[in-house]
């Protein structure tokens, strides 16, 4: 377990209240090709994440280390858990969102919209009402590296809401170039959605937008919450006070609820996703290119997965 020194950049005094300055970033695993999609299962003291090009889901168990959770993962990317504790995954290869049942079988949540295949679902969150919200950029079909190269069948890269209770699948946002990470505010009145299009276009968006969530599930009032630089916002999570923690090049940057950048955690490689875990939800797990990192914070993750 390697410690990484000199971990923090402080832009605002509030960042001192959110971090533990003596707690350094630790590297827990370094054998991935491109790591994403961390999700914490407290009942199993387990962190599951995706190693996309190697077509596997890995698991880190506290006190035991890392093993393969699933191979073949079908180029799984983003993962989360639903309110029943079941794993929900985005598959580039299957161009679908699946749920893993307690007996290990997979249930397809969504794989097409209006008769046409999805692009390559990227990241996913579950609302407290059980609806499953996911983004569908085309990263997973642009080459054979993270999926199977193919043409888009959808007219764009949309944000979808699936309702497993009814089978309904609806587009909730259609004006993103490459929608990527997403997460609700702690009270679920705001949905944050990243646009990471700068990854393949130097002039493309590299921001996170905030959208108001109506009682009927419709989104409104789309506005830019923050711009991320360097790098792009890929995946992110919120803490219990509504601060947003997202990838930012070789680091994790934290924004206050009003969009003010508070500080940054330096990570040795390009960060993709983060999640809160540990029995106290005060440990941030960070997937960054080849490695899984972790760091203890002075805040805790919001209960929304
Ligand atoms: Mg992503």
CA of 149 to the centre of ligand 1 (A): 18
**In the prediction, which pLDDT does 109 show?**
98
Q: How far is CA 90 from CA 87, 108, 189, 269, 280, in A?
A: 10, 10, 24, 23, 27
Residue ranges in the chain modelled with pLDDT below 50: 1
CA of 134 to the centre of ligand 1 (A): 10
CA of 178 to the centre of ligand 1 (A): 10
> In the chain, how long is the greatest CA-to-CA distance?
54
CA of 234 to the centre of ligand 1 (A): 5
Among candidate residues 128, 119, 122, the one with its CA nearest the CA of residue 81: 128
CA of 79 to the centre of ligand 1 (A): 10
Mapping DSSP onto H, E and C, the string for 155-189 reads CCCCEEEEECCCCEEEEEECCCCCEEEEEECCCCC
CA of 220 to the centre of ligand 1 (A): 23
All structural domains of the chain with their residue ranges: 2-296
CA of 207 to the centre of ligand 1 (A): 13
| pLDDT tens by residue, 184-221 | 999 999 999 999 999 999 999 999 999 999 988 899 99
Tokens of 195: 């646009």
**In the prediction, which pLDDT does 279 show?**
95
Second CATH level (architecture) for the domain 2-296: 6 Propeller (2.120)
At 140 the three-state DSSP class reads: helix
């Amino acid at each position: 377990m390697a410690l990484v020194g000199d971990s923090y950049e402080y832009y605002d005094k509030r960042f001192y209240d959110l971090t533990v300055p003596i707690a350094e970033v630790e590297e827990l695993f370094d054998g991935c090709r491109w790591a994403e999609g961390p999700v914490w299962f407290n009942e199993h003291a387990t962190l599951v994440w995706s190693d996309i090009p190697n077509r596997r889901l890995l698991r880190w168990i506290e006190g035991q280390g890392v093993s393969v959770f699933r191979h073949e993962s079908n180029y799984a990317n983003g993962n989360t858990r639903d309110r029943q504790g079941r794993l929900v995954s985005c598959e580039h290869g299957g161009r679908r969102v699946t749920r893993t049942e307690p007996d290990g079988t997979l249930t397809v949540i969504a794989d097409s919209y209006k008769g046409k295949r999805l692009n390559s679902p990227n990241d996913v969150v579950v609302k407290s009402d059980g609806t499953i919200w996911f983004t569908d950029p085309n990263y997973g079909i642009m080459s054979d590296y993270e999926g199977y190269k193919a043409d888009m069948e959808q007219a764009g890269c949309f944000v979808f809401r699936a309702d497993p209770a009814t089978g309904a699948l609806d587009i909730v946002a259609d004006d993103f170039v490459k929608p990527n990470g997403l997460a609700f505010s702690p009270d679920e009145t705001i949905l944050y959605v990243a646009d990471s299009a700068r990854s393949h276009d130097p002039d493309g968006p590299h921001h996170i937008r905030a959208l108001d969530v109506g009682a009927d599930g419709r989104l409104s009032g789309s506005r830019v919450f923050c711009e991320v630089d360097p790098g792009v916002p890929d995946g992110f999570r919120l803490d219990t006070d509504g601060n947003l923690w997202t990838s930012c090049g070789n680091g994790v940057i934290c924004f206050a609820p009003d969009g003010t950048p508070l500080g940054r955690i330096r990570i040795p490689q390009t960060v993709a996703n983060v999640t809160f875990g540990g029995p106290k939800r005060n440990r941030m797990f960070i997937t960054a290119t080849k490695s899984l990192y972790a760091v203890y914070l002075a805040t805790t993750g919001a209960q929304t997965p």
